[in-house]
């Protein structure tokens, strides 16, 4: 039996592909005769940095979207709305990326970092809304033979998202590089398969609860 979500996944893949492609447009080709080419290329380091991390982040979001829809086999109007809400955040990524590239290392970098981190906070909330709706109500939108353990692992992993990205936003007021580093660490965490991420989370909790000294 064909999945009811085939068109949803195809449309979403197209949006992810366009968003990730638009990122490269923010890296400009230096004009001939306007100075030393090597120096001009080096001056664009904020654009390279923003491009690489946003390319990786969108790629990781696509991976997670794919993982969700290996479990989601049915759709309804509410699921379509939540998926569109997620795609709204994805399509917005090139804009805060461009703002961060233009202002990183300059006086406006704090606001740029807040906009950048805030975008990923919105996306994290949208991911949770999409997944929790699909997995709620006796999991009516999931595959009939869905692995209950896998569903619970995804739910636990995603629960870290909104709170962690909110910390990134708050940290952006104090230390921009630290907030971007935490953002990158979170991307690595969500790139992990849910089973691995659960192990990492449990190990961290065990280490935090372990008595010090012996």
Are 109 and 171 within 8 A, CB to CB? Answer: no
pLDDT tens digits for 141-170? 887 777 788 888 888 888 888 999 999 999
pLDDT at residue 208, as a whole number = 46
What is the per-residue pLDDT for 212? Answer: 47
Q: What is the predicted pLDDT for the residue at 1?
A: 41
Question: What pLDDT was estimated at residue 109?
Answer: 92
> pLDDT at position 16, please?
96
| Residue 159 CB partners (closer than 8 Å, separation 6+) | 128
Torsion-angle region of residue 31: left (phi > 0), alpha (psi -120 to 50) or beta? beta
Has this prediction a pTM greater than 0.85?
A: no
CA–CA dist 64, 49 (Å, integer): 23
Separation of alpha carbons 32 and 172, rounded Å: 37
The residue ranges of the chain whose pLDDT is under 70 are: 1-2, 138-139, 194-214
- Cα angle value 5/55/78 (rounded, 5°): 25
Which pair of tokens denotes residue 59? 């790629």
């Amino acid at each position: 039996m064909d999945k009811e979500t085939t068109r949803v996944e195809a449309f979403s893949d197209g949006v992810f592909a366009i968003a990730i492609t638009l990122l490269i447009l923010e890296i400009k080709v230096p004009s001939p005769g306007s100075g030393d080419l090597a120096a001009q290329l080096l001056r664009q380091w904020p654009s390279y940095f923003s491009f690489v991390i946003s390319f990786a982040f969108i790629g990781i979001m696509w991976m997670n979207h794919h993982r969700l829809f290996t479990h989601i086999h049915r759709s309804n109007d509410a699921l379509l709305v939540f998926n569109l809400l997620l795609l709204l955040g994805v399509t917005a990524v090139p804009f805060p990326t461009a703002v961060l590239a233009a202002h990183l290392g300059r006086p406006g970098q704090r606001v740029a970092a807040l906009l950048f981190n805030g975008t990923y906070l919105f996306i994290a909330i949208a991911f949770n809304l999409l997944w929790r709706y699909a997995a709620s109500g006796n999991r009516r939108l999931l595959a009939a033979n869905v692995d209950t353990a896998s569903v619970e692992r995804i739910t636990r992993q995603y629960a870290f998202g909104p709170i962690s990205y909110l910390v990134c936003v708050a940290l952006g007021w104090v230390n921009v590089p630290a907030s971007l580093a935490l953002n990158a660490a979170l991307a690595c965490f969500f790139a992990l398969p849910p089973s691995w991420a659960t192990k990492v989370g449990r190990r961290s909790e065990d280490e935090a609860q372990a008595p010090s000294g012996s």
